[in-house]
Structure 1
Amino acid sequence: MTRRTAAHPDLTRTDVAAPFFSTWRVGTPERQRQAVEAIARAWERRPWPGEGLQAYHVYTGHDGETLMHHSRWVSEQAYEAFSKTRRQERVDEIDTAVPDIERLGLHRYRYHRSRERAAGDERTPGLIVTVRIGFEEAAAGRRADWIDLVLKALADEPAEHRGLIAAHFHLSTDGSHVLNYAEWESAPAYDEALAAPGRGIGAATELWERVRTYPGVTGFTGSRYDHALGLVPS
């Protein structure tokens, strides 16, 4: 069967070969809450899809309009089998409870590398920040090099921001972008990092300038989320 968990996903697990992210637009904070509960009911009433799915997590956007979904599959084939046989009944139940959900698309990824949490750091993230970094088609093969440069820039910063717990970088399978899923202690800690020129995240260093001006990067889009629901096999 299926059970809820308050635990955040471990994005460094090696048994998840197909991490997926998708976004729904539901319109209001109240509909965000209703949709999360509808998802929980639709899943808890049914058997877990099987060993092909390691976990499914839902996040509420700070914009008050969106939900982010993160499903962790052992393979794309496992997802395709679920989609053909078990997905639609869940979708129908959710749409009956919360009509007119706008589904903005599913994106498939491969996990690449992380700035992992420090040894002994047991903090639960109070904020999830996702940053989508677009790349020109001709630069798709250099995305891993860009991630490696970011991690080096983080390691060489003159003043570490302790509010950053971890950051996990994923390569989209279509070659179009990188997704950074960053775990922060809290929204104020993230705001402090953004408001601190010359230190911490994005400091005025040569490495960060190379990150920002890397050839082939087309732009950055960031979003803030709260972890709202975790579903795992019971």
Structure 2
Amino acid sequence: MTLPALPSFVRSRTELDGYRLYRTGGMAGSDKTVGCVVLVTIDTDDEVTAKAWVDSVFVALASDPKSHPGGISAAFHIRDDGRQVINYAEWRGAQDHVDALSDGNGVGSPTSDWRRVQSFPGVRQGGFVRYQPLAKVQAEVE
């Protein structure tokens, strides 16, 4: 699977033009090589809703009995006007992300915490796109 380069507004895992980093997870002591970045877009009613939704994702991640082993990290950014969230998610590879979505429940297990994330009031799923990791793009330029 050939992946496109990340869009130009992505400066790094923690810096996206027009967005503020809100929360990150994963990566601590990770020896996994990032093979794919997934930008997940979520539309929200306002910044309060955006932050509450991201916090609910972290509750669901912490309580997930069987998280997918291909997931490496997540960095949640909230747009300056508070009406959109982008999750910069790092995966071992694109196929790991495909596999994590294969059961139709999203990336999480079918738990009450994940159902809360999926039906959160004031939140609309916007979709996702898989990209080449930033490090690979930078190496090709150098």
Task: State the 1:118 CA deviation.
Answer: 3.9
Paired position in structure 1 for 2:42:
133
Q: Following the alignment from structure 1 to structure 2, what is the Cα–Cα distance between the partners of residues 178 and 191?
A: 21
- Structure 1 spans left out of the alignment, 5+ residues: 1-28, 30-58, 62-66, 73-105
1:193 aligns with 2:100: yes
Superposed structure 1 runs of 4+ greater than 4 Å apart? none
Q: Following the alignment from structure 1 to structure 2, what is the Cα–Cα distance between the partners of residues 71 and 197?
A: 31
Q: How does 1:69-84 map to 2 (within 5 A)?
A: 69=8, 70-71=10-11
Residue identity matched to 2:11: S
CA displacement 1:128-186 (0-9 Å, x = unmatched): 001010012xx332211111110110111121211001011011102220010000001
Paired position in structure 2 for 1:174:
81
Relative contact order (alpha carbons < 8 A, sep ≥ 6): 1 or 2 greater?
A: 2
Q: Is the 8 A contact 2:67 2:108 kept in 1?
A: no
Q: Is the 8 A contact 1:197 1:203 kept in 2?
A: no
After TM superposition, the structure 1 stretch with the greater mean CA deviation from structure 2, 153-162 or 110-119, is 110-119
Q: Following the alignment from structure 1 to structure 2, what is the Cα–Cα distance between the partners of residues 186 and 111?
A: 24
Q: Percent identity?
A: 35
Q: How does 1:84-233 map to 2 (within 5 A)?
A: 107-119=17-29, 121-136=30-45, 139-196=46-103, 201-227=107-133, 228-230=136-138
Q: Following the alignment from structure 1 to structure 2, what is the Cα–Cα distance between the partners of residues 194 and 118?
A: 24
1:60 aligns with 2:4: yes
Q: Is the 8 A contact 2:47 2:78 kept in 1?
A: no
Indicate the structure (1 or 2) with the bigger Cα radius of gyration: 1
Residue identity matched to 1:116: G
- Structure 2 spans left out of the alignment, 5+ residues: none
Normalising by structure 2, what TM-score? 0.81
**Cα 1:107–1:176, aligned 2, differ >3 Å: closer, same or farther?**
farther
**Cα 1:175–1:197, aligned 2, differ >3 Å: closer, same or farther?**
closer
Q: Following the alignment from structure 2 to structure 1, what is the Cα–Cα distance between the partners of residues 53 and 70?
A: 23
CA RMSD of aligned residues (A): 2.5
